[in-house]
């Protein structure tokens, strides 16, 4: 699963599999805040200017990629999955379909809770902090804030909501895959974050903060579910997602009843 022993492999194996104490997250916070402040002071302006001046064809790719940082394409299907999975508990279903409905409910609940809660945290932080977006770089610089500016979209730069969604969903997918495809999924998530700078909507520190919020909230949700045995469990110190097994009875039934003998 992690053939190479690079730092990224070790890190994402830990992210995907290790059950973490909440105290570990708290120990990270001072270093994270300091790193974000240094980034905002020294790197936000030059990075924003450089990426906004990329060639048009490169900007077009990131303009396309940035749309995947919206949360509605994740939240709406998973909300429907939760509703259908819950309603199916009261329907007269066979054993196979009943377990499949439990699987849909479990997967949908985990994905929806992780992405929605991470997004909610970001929405609150945006309005409490009130940081000016890069469109005001020449006028205000990189550190202009108007705290508790509730309605003005242009003062909701920190942290990046798209980056929050992208990294929360990345952690969720890595957890669902029990650590597989970690590097590919991480590259896509970080690419979505980078796109927010390219299109001129966020600074580098906004994106970094969004990635941190998305990752930490998704980890907290994962560990909360795991310690209660909801869709996953803790084995030693490792988290194992287990709800895909709920679909096996249905798959066996479909194979037995509907797959032609030629393909068996």
Q: Is 32 exposed, middle or buried (0-12, 13-18, 19+ CB in 10 A)?
A: middle
How many Å apart are CA 240 and CA 229, to the nearest integer?
Answer: 10
Task: Give the predicted TM-score (pTM) of the model.
Answer: 0.86
Q: Which pLDDT band holds residue 1 (cuts at 50, 70, 90)? A: very low
Give pLDDT tens digits for 195-208. Answer: 999 999 999 999 99
Q: Contacts from 5-12 at CB under 8 Å and sequence distance 24+? A: 8/182, 8/183, 8/186, 9/182, 9/183, 12/174, 12/179, 12/182, 12/183, 12/186
Give pLDDT tens digits for 167-198. Answer: 999 999 988 887 788 889 999 999 999 999 99
How many Å apart are CA 131 and CA 210, to the nearest integer?
Answer: 14
Considering only CA atoms, which of 45, 104, 62 is closest in space to residue 190?
A: 62
Q: Which pLDDT band holds residue 21 (cuts at 50, 70, 90)? A: low
Give pLDDT tens digits for 34-80. Answer: 999 999 999 999 999 999 888 888 889 999 999 999 999 999 999 99
Q: Is 34 exposed, middle or buried (0-12, 13-18, 19+ CB in 10 A)?
A: exposed
Q: Which two tokens stand for residue 96?
A: 């196979």
Q: CB under 8 Å to 142, separation ≥6 — which residues?
A: 40, 41, 44, 45, 203, 205
Give pLDDT tens digits for 86-103. Answer: 888 787 777 677 777 888
Q: Kindly report the backbone phi and psi dihedral angles of residue 232, in degrees, each rounded to the nearest multiple of 5, phi listed first.
A: -150, 170
Give pLDDT tens digits for 62-72. Answer: 999 999 999 99
How many Å apart are CA 245 and CA 23, to the nearest integer?
Answer: 32
Q: Which two tokens stand for residue 241?
A: 């997602």
How many Å apart are CA 151 and CA 17, to the nearest integer?
Answer: 40
Considering only CA atoms, which of 242, 264, 247, 246 is closest in space to residue 255?
A: 264
Q: Note the helical H segments in the chain.
A: 7-17, 22-42, 44-52, 56-66, 72-88, 95-129, 137-140, 161-176, 182-198, 204-227, 248-258
- Domain made up of 7-263: CATH architecture: Up-down Bundle (1.20)
């Amino acid at each position: 699963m992690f053939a190479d022993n690079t730092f990224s492999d070790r890190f994402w194996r830990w992210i995907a599999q290790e059950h973490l104490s909440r105290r570990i997250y708290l120990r990270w916070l001072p270093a994270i805040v300091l790193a974000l402040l240094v980034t905002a002071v020294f790197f936000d302006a030059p990075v924003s200017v450089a990426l906004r001046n990329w060639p048009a064809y490169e900007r077009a790719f990131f303009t396309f990629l940035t749309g995947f940082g919206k949360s509605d394409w994740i939240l709406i299907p998973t909300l429907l999955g939760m509703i259908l999975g819950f309603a199916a508990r009261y329907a007269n279903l066979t054993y196979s379909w009943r377990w499949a409905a439990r699987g849909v409910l479990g997967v949908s609940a985990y994905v929806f809770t992780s992405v929605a809660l991470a997004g909610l945290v970001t929405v609150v932080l945006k309005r409490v902090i009130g940081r000016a977006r890069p469109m005001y770089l020449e006028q205000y610089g990189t550190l202009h804030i108007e705290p508790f500016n509730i309605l003005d979209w242009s003062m909701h730069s920190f942290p990046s909501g798209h980056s929050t969604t992208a990294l929360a969903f990345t952690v969720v997918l890595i957890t669902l895959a029990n650590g597989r495809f970690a590097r590919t999924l991480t590259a896509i998530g970080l690419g979505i974050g980078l796109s927010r700078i390219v299109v001129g909507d966020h600074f580098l520190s906004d994106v970094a903060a969004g990635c941190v919020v998305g990752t930490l909230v998704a980890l907290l949700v994962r560990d909360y579910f795991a310690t209660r045995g909801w869709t996953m469990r803790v084995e030693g110190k490792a988290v194992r997602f287990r709800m895909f097994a709920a679909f096996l009875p249905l798959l066996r039934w479909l194979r037995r009843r509907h797959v032609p003998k030629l393909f068996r």
